[in-house]
Amino acid sequence: MKLCVAFYITNIDFMPYNGLNDFVGLLERENELIRISQKVDTVLEITEIVDRISKSPGGGKALLFENNGTAFPLLINAYGSESRICLALGHASLGAIGAELEELFKQLAGPAGTLLDKLKLLPLLSRIASWMPKKKSGKGRCQEIVMATPDLTKLPVLTCWPADGGPFVTLPGVVTRDPETGVRNVGMYRMQIFGPDTTGMHWHKHKTGARHYQGYKNAGKKMPVSVVLGGDPAYTYAATAPLPDQIDEYMLTGFLRKKKVELVRCLTNDLEVPDDADIVIEGYVDPAEELAWEGPFGDHTGFYSLADWYPKFHVTCISHRKGAIYPATIVGIPPQEDAYIGLATEKIFLAPMKLTMIPELKDLYLPAVGVAHNLTLARIDKTYAGQALKTMNAMWGAGQMMFNKIMVVTDQANPWKDMEAFVRKVSNEIDPVHDIIFSSGPMDVLDHASSKFAFGSKMGIDATTKFPEEMNVESTENRLPGSELFDNIAQDIPAIKSVQTSLLDKGISVLILGIEKEQNFRPAILTETLLKMSAIQRVKFILFVDAALPVANLDAVVWYVTGNIDPRRDCKIFEATQAGEVSHLVVDGTRKTAQSDGFQRDWPNPVVSSAETISMVDRRWPEYGLGTMIPSPSLIYSPLKRGEGAISE
């Protein structure tokens, strides 16, 4: 993190932001913002610009598009670096927030047997009370200007990717209320614009908004919904946070801001929204109404989420403050801005997970290439046999962690500081037969690789030091084959078009093969052929990817493989049969088809820009004032497309 950021926060009393203009001012003072005054198009052009910037080292800078065809400047990539997410949340480091939350939990859960012990808690309880949201009478600053006729087309809503179903609101705080308990929820659900006063409401079946919707449907009532855009950046973060179902997100915001959120009543429904929001969209969802065909959408998985049926949101009012800024984000092939929002969650919510469910958990790492749910790395303090398995099962039952696909548990000290050394240790020390387990459970609705919608398998890898009870055989030194032994593999096996052996040269027992799936291709036949090769007998992990993927780009390989597998279906373990051999894990990370794999669901295309948009942004780059031209990341991944639509042909 930049020293100036840490100095600013630690040496000046942090004051909550009074809307996005305050935050923009700070970003500008910290040299974290670029204003773009040239006219830009909200259809595809902004996304292509931002995709190049957000994939720059460290996440690039925040961008303010001041001339986008509307009266509202558009702020994007505002949280797209570790320093900016710290600025947004008002702390010198994300770890400091987690440590503060952990200390708070310990004080509340500590012994309070005597009267004196209980009295000691009063100042703490008073602090907590000061974070609770409060209602404010009268109109709020977010209601300074009310559109005479609500019209969503007056907002700079982005059409992000070529196969998107239309423009989408991408950074909303959607306010709903439990029809039975009255408890408020603020969630983040994308909203496709259907018309001036109608959008989709993309809440997944596992989300609180969907549960509220079902409650109103059961009661035969319309559901009031309001959407908050902008305001203090902590509002946006809280809408993404994995809070327990009945915990108010605005209480978390109060904790982060160290000041309670002041709420005002909406003008056309009875919900409350933050007084200092930039823009508020009010309306309702009618559960009795037929669902709308919503999507596709280029999603955070790096693939399109395909069109499906979702409720319609009807707009009854749009209000905003003077000088309001419209916030947006784009998602797609990582890394993107959402990786840093996820980093905040990783650091902040480690403490509650440790203290309530998994006391042995010491650190958690969700690599950006794992797109939140596909890959989780956990470090524990191991004191007994089977503890890694216990951790996996506990985490797979913990809130949104139920969507995790691959979990690696280690007890290695500071494992993420030297990722190459960590991967080397894992590859050399684990036995695929005994240290890998498979389970089944709910999957993210956006997971395209599971054979069934929102349900699939999970893989756990125990990379901890083994206790005697966990040892199955005496370990033997694994002598890796030289990479030169695979120089001719593509000639011997025509389906193999590219080979990546760089990890073998680093002492990591992983071989990556780029495969061209011809008409009669069968993964099992290729695997059988490979396992007859003497050099392969000394490689533990063999990964198949599509030949169009650049296998030299290891981040791309991890993103592609973890996204494209249903572990129980696509990961096969083969036990060693002779001395000097190792057991193998063969992973098929290729695109699945009905013909080669018996896969019956539609397979989505990766999210990339069109050639026309790339060419146009290349041509206009000097006008934007963004420095040396950055090549389009889409050029790397475009060869993976099959057809021009969201569905891979």
Catalytic positions, written as ranges: 299
Q: Is the peptide bond before 622 cis (omega within 30 degrees of 0)?
A: no
The tokens describing 623, both together, are 């006008």
- For residue 363, give the H/E element and its range: strand 361-365
> 464 is written with which tokens?
């901890």
Residue of 159, 203, 209 whose CA lies nearest to 179: 209
H/E stretch holding 285 reads strand 279-285
Helix (H) or strand (E) holding 20: helix 20-29
Burial class (CB in 10 A: 0-12, 13-18, 19+), 490: middle
How far CA 72 is from CA of 27, 28, 37, in Å, comes to 18, 18, 13
238 touches 208 (CB < 8 A): no
Give the strand pairing for 74-76 and 134-135. unpaired
Closest CA to 89 of 229, 228, 234, 186: 234
Cα separation, 52 vs 631, in Å, equals 7
For 90, other C-beta atoms within 10 Å of its C-beta total 20
CB 103 within 8 A of CB 97: no
Taking residue 57's Cβ as centre, other Cβ atoms within 10 Å add up to: 6
Distance CA 308, CA 357 (A): 35
The alpha carbon of 491 is separated from its chain's Cα centroid by a whole number of angstroms, namely: 40
Residue located via tokens 């040496």: 11
Burial class (CB in 10 A: 0-12, 13-18, 19+), 188: buried
Nearest C-alpha neighbor of 17 from the set 237, 202, 277, 384: 277
- Tokens 């500590």, residue located: 110
The phi, psi pair for 56, rounded to 5°, reads -70, 160
d(CA 507, CA 504): 5
Answer yes or no: are the C-beta atoms of 248 and 263 closer than 8 Å: no
Report helix, strand or coil for 51. helix
Tell me the DSSP string of 169-186: E-S-EEEEE-TTT--EEE
Q: How far apart are CA 47 and CA 60, in angstroms?
A: 14
**CA-based nearest residue to 173, from 274, 311, 300:** 274
Residue 489 burial by Cβ neighbours in a 10 Å radius (0-12, 13-18, 19+): middle
- 477 burial type by CB count under 10 A (0-12 exposed, 13-18 middle, 19+ buried): exposed
